[in-house]
Each structure stands twice: as structure tokens, then as C-alpha cells.
Amino acid sequence: MLLFHEVPVDASRKILDEVYRVLRPGGVFTVVDFPGDKFRDVYSMFFAEMDASDNGEPFLPGFVRSNIEEMMAEAGFSVPPYDPSKFLLAPRIGIKPADD
């Protein structure tokens, strides 16, 4: 059974696969949004979900509960570390290896 909040995660994986496919080797992909992060505290996760609900963004809670870095790595991107304390000021960057 597929739960509602899992749908955007599946869509995110498909999007990342397609971005990886069309991006040139050595190309960079950046995600600037409420990023999912397994290291964020409960308050931040609650705030992100509350904000998503209040702003009528039904797919955002599932994305917030996911881990975008892991999904980007699974798609084949090299994902440099970032500072999670910067939250929205720290976009997630994925680099397609130059040897692809």
C-alpha cells in the first residue's frame, strides 16, 4: 500500500534520475527548498510540515521527511557535505561525475 506522503518521494527519485540522465558529465544540480534531512531536529521537521500544510503544499511533507542527499547519491550524483545549521541557506548540490 502506497501512503500519500510517499508519492512525492517516488516522484523526487524519478526527477533526480531524469536530471542525472540529461545533465552533462561534470554538470551541477542544485536543490533549494525545504530539504529533507535525517539530522534535523524534531522542531525543524514539525515546522516544515506545518508550513507545508499552511501553504497548501500537499507534497512537501513527504519530501521533508525524506533525505535528499541519499536520494541524490542513489541517482549517481556526488554530493558534497553541507552545513545543516544553515537550513535554507545551504542548498543541496549534486555533481554528475565527469567520467560518465
The pLDDT of residue 55: 76
Q: How many CB atoms lie within 10 A of CB 41?
A: 10
Q: N- to C-terminal Cα distance for the chain?
A: 36
Residues (pLDDT < 70) of the chain are 1-8, 33-41, 58, 61, 84, 87-88, 100
The pLDDT of residue 94: 94
Q: From the centroid of its chain, how far is CA 14?
A: 12
The pLDDT of residue 52: 72
Domain boundaries, the chain: 4-95
Collapsing DSSP states into helix, strand and coil, what is residue 1?
coil
